[in-house]
């Protein structure tokens, strides 16, 4: 788990769905300690957002 990243990227309780999607995509790139929830995955597919390729992994 990328604790450093989590400390810098705290997802608020009332964050919008858009924010949630962006958070999960970035999370997968930087940490990935948990998978993207089904509800968020569905929204990603719906909005046709593509997950950016993991290239610059900062640890």
Considering only residues 8 through 47, tell me which ones interact with Zn ion, judged by CB under 5 A. Answer: 31, 33
Nearer to Zn ion, 27 or 44 (CB): 27
- Contact indicator for 25, 52 with CB cutoff of 8 Å: yes
Rounded to an integer, what distance in angstroms lies between the CA atom of residue 2 and that of residue 14? 23
Q: How many CB atoms lie within 10 A of CB 27?
A: 19
Q: For residues 12 and 48, which CB has a smaller minimum distance to Zn ion in the complex?
A: 12
Q: How far is the CB of 55 from Zn ion (least distance, A)?
A: 19
Residues that bind Zn ion (CB under 5 A): 31, 33
């Amino acid at each position: 788990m990328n604790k450093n990243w989590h400390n810098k990227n705290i997802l608020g309780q009332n964050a919008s769905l858009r924010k949630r999607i962006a958070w999960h995509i970035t999370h997968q790139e930087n940490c990935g300690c948990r998978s993207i929830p089904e509800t968020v995955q569905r929204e990603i597919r719906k909005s046709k957002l593509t997950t950016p390729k993991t290239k610059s992994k900062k640890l």
